[in-house]
Each structure stands twice: as C-alpha cells, then as structure tokens.
Amino acid sequence: MKRCNVCWTCLSGPTYGCKPCKYFLHKSCLDEFKEVVQSSFHLCPLRIAHYFKYSFHARSGDCLLCYETITSNFSYICKLSCTFQTHVECAVKPMVEYSDEEYTIQHFTHQHPLKLVDSNQKHTVICSFCEELCSSSSSSSSTYGCMGCEFFLHKSCMKSIPRQLINHRIHPCALIFISSDRYSDTKCDCCGEHIVPGMKFSCGACALNLHIKSVENMSASLTFTWIVIRC
C-alpha cells in the first residue's frame, strides 16, 4: 500500500510522486508548506528542506526550538548560513502578544510558554538575563518563567533583549540571539565558559557563540578584543 511521505496515510486524491524512489506526496500536504517562511523565533528566513538530504544542518536531527527529534521528512532550515533547523509546525508557531494582565506569554527567548511567577516564589528564582534574584529590591519588575526548564526573566529584561546586534564592537558580522538547549556543551568563544542557561548571541557564518554577559561586558568595556573568525 503506497503512503504519503509527509502524513503517512494511504494515498488518495491528487498526488505527486517518484516511482523509482517510491516517494509520494499528497498535493494537499505539499501545498501546506511554504518555500520560505519568517519565524518569530529566528531572525533569518527559513526555507523548506527534505530532512534526510539536509540533516547535516541539524544537531543529530533535533529541532532547535523544541529540542525534540525531527521525525518528519520535512523541516525548515536557515536560508542563510546558520546551523538552524526546526519542525515545520514549530517554525510557523505565532508569537503571542501580551499585556500587563497576561498570565502566560510566548517570548522569543524560550521555546516554551512563560508563566507569570507568583510573588511568593520570586525569592527562589534568578533572572536568566541579568542573573539577579527576581525578588531583589533592584528588580521590582514582574517575572515570567518556565519552571520545568528553570528559565526566568524579568519583564523589564524581556524588553531589553535585542533580537540581533549589528556592527557590534566585539565582532564585525551580525550577531543573532538564539535560544539554545540548556544542556548543550557550547562554550563562549570570548570567556571560554559554558553557555547556560540557554541564551546566546551567535554568528552562524563564523560558528561564533557568545554569552549574553560577554557581549554586555564588551559593550561597557573601554578596552576589548575584536573577535574575527574567517567566514
């Protein structure tokens, strides 16, 4: 029984296929995929790709938004040079706009929804961006977080995190904010320490990864080293 290589159901209705390869697609499944999309969670344009053909773009075939293994034949990969790959459904997931009254939000810094942290819990959690205790006197802002990932952000910090840095003094190429796996073994190319808990600025063309703090410290420093890696 021939099946669609996208939805894996039996072929029915208009279908495209390659008989020698035994590869078939429902027209309806194919029409669902846009060739290029702009995700809310990655600044570069993403293009549709056949997973097995382009699997070298991913880390062991994992989606870099939800960190689950990509089992579909299709995924979206960065159209430029970033080593970024994601599920089709993750790529087109909308960013949720929020107001002061919202209890749950979706923010580009994290793949899971962030919930408003109860004031009684703020004394036990630390903001992943500024690294201050969320209940500190200097941090009166509301806090949102993902308890499962131990990821928390002051609302004020959320608004100050840039999506990208252009012409930053630390590196000549554009640096793009990427939400990375908090269990990854990536090290900062500036300070040499492990990048935790899942936030970094990256230049895909140069394979450069930087701590948030390293970028901030370089911005404030009067003396600095310009990191240049041949693209």
> Could you report the per-residue pLDDT of 107-140, keeping only the tens digit for each?
878 877 888 887 777 677 888 887 788 776 555 5
DSSP 8-class letter at 122: G
> Could you report the per-residue pLDDT of 39-56, keeping only the tens digit for each?
777 777 888 887 544 444
Confidence of residue 34 (pLDDT cuts 50, 70, 90): confident
Which residue segments constitute the domains of the chain, with CATH numbers given?
33-91 (no CATH), 104-160 (no CATH), 164-220 (3.30.60)
Size of the chain, expressed as the number of residues it contains:
231
Alpha-carbon distance of 53 to 51, in angstroms, equals 6
Average pLDDT score, the chain: 74
**Is it the case that residue 231 has pLDDT exceeding 60?**
no
Token pair of 164, please? Answer: 């990208």
Token match 């994992």: residue?
A: 62
